[in-house]
Structure 1
Amino acid sequence: MSQEFYARKILPKHIKEIKALEEHYHRRFRFQEDGDPSHDLLVLVHPAQSPDLNPIEAL
């Protein structure tokens, strides 16, 4: 998957869903990505090992 495909086709769908959730619940949501540098997008920096921000870690 190229970063162009991701940014044009995949990411907008997630952003649309997040906006709908924010409207419905009247609160802010954050979209956490895997940190793959090929996405080349400005994202919230977070520690990869944080159990609070990395729900799959416990699995």
Structure 2
Amino acid sequence: MTDQHCPGFESNKTLKEVKVRCPECGKEWEIFSDEADKKTKCAACGAVVDPKTCAVK
């Protein structure tokens, strides 16, 4: 057993999960905090979602 990690491990270990809710259909899912500045598409209804305005508190 070694203490080696895959490349990029250090930069990714500080990521947090952010839960978002689609304003159109209400489906919830999680994204990583580094994706919160990017619009995403709801897998259930296809609506374009802005995670900054649709984050579940």
Give the TM interval when normalised to the shorter protein.
under 0.3
More strand by share: 2
TM-score computed with the length of structure 1 as normaliser: 0.23
**Max radius of gyration: which structure?**
2
